Amino acid sequence: MRKIYGGKNWSKLWAKLEQTGNIGIDYCINPILYPKICDQLNKIENASVIDFGAGTNILAVQFLFGYEKNITALNLCKNLDNARENVKVFTGIEQSLSLVKEAKKYHRDMGFSDKIAIQRMLLVNKNELQFDNKSVDLAISRQFLMHLSIKDLDFHFNEVARILKKDGKYVFTILNPIYELRKYRENKGNKKLENGQRYSFVHGKIGENGSFYHYFKTIEQYEKIFEKNFQIIDKKKCFPINNNFKKTHARYYWQDCPMAFVYELKKI
């Protein structure tokens, strides 16, 4: 029987995790990403999982403890309960101290499950990851790699290759650079982005959630770095799984321009 986490606090916690403010994540990206994570975990017992750029560790919370009736992407996962049972520890890695503190509040509300953890760790500037060589079964990240410069991206993939076990997988999502460029041009009056260029954008309809920074990279640049240590096993396009948001989020439906890609890489 599935353990119920959170007790009386769960409903309150779940209200914090409501998905309607994350349309692109929940209806474009997660329906591809979550089944891929689930598929990998069904193949690994006592798996150690690392999520880079985890924020408030919501991906781990949803995947490990969420209910299918609340999370569309979980309905698409096969043998989800078995995948969850196979997880030994699911560790989020996040640079922001405030986000790590918020994540730990979520963990407390769930009853301090020993399957979920989060650590603060600098992910740039040649800071080696605090994990032993060949100690991690599965690496994941969601919309994190865009925040890294080309130099830091190269270092990151070297480090992920170092800590993954033999034939280990890295499953992650990135914004489609063509989508990224079109969105930037719409907001910046048709200005172009150069490969490696750092740029800012506001989060939320009116920037109510602050500013974020990306380094624009072409798909060719990304894949050149990936293929130094990994084989690209799969690459999937992320489009909305229904038409509910065509009026409010029309750019997610741009023809022949998926919002994001989900990659599955195998360490070589």
pLDDT beyond 90 at 154: yes
Mean pLDDT computed over 25-53:
97
Q: Contact, 237 vs 155, CB < 8 A?
A: no
Evaluate whether residue 133 is within a structural domain.
yes
Assigned token pair, 104: 């730990």
- 3-state SS, residue 100: helix
Evaluate whether residue 189 is within a structural domain.
no
CATH number at residue 98: 3.40.50.150
How crowded is residue 52: how many other Cβ atoms within 10 Å of its Cβ? Answer: 24
Evaluate whether residue 192 is within a structural domain.
no
Evaluate whether residue 5 is within a structural domain.
no
User: Given this model, what pLDDT does residue 27 score?
Assistant: 93
Cα first-last separation, the chain: 39
Q: Which has the minimum average pLDDT: 4-8, 136-140, 145-149, 211-215? A: 4-8
Assigned token pair, 118: 């989060």
Read off the pTM: 0.91
User: Given this model, what pLDDT does residue 68 score?
Assistant: 87
**Percent above pLDDT 90 for the chain:** 72
Q: Shortest CA distance to 174 belongs to which of 48, 79, 85, 52?
A: 52
Evaluate whether residue 195 is within a structural domain.
no
User: Given this model, what pLDDT does residue 173 score?
Assistant: 98
pLDDT beyond 60 at 35: yes
Q: Which has the minimum average pLDDT: 158-167, 175-184, 195-204? A: 195-204
User: Given this model, what pLDDT does residue 17 score?
Assistant: 55
pLDDT in tens, 209-254: 567 789 999 999 999 999 999 999 999 999 999 999 999 899 999 9
Q: Using pLDDT thresholds of 50, 70 and 90, give the confidence band for residue 100.
A: very high
Burial of 170 (0-12, 13-18, 19+ CB in 10 A): buried
Report the amino acid identity of residue 43: K
* Nearby residues of 125 by Cβ (< 8 Å), 6 or more positions away: 152
- 3-state SS, residue 135: coil
Evaluate whether residue 245 is within a structural domain.
yes
- The HSE-up count of residue 218 (CA atoms within 13 Å, CB side) is 7
Evaluate whether residue 9 is within a structural domain.
no
Range(s) of the domain holding residue 144: 19-176+218-267
Evaluate whether residue 166 is within a structural domain.
yes
Mean pLDDT computed over 132-140:
98
User: Given this model, what pLDDT does residue 1 score?
Assistant: 42
Mean pLDDT computed over 160-187:
94
Looking at the structure of the chain, the number of domains it has is 1
User: Given this model, what pLDDT does residue 124 score?
Assistant: 85
How crowded is residue 231: how many other Cβ atoms within 10 Å of its Cβ? Answer: 12
User: Given this model, what pLDDT does residue 21 score?
Assistant: 59
Mean pLDDT computed over 65-71:
85
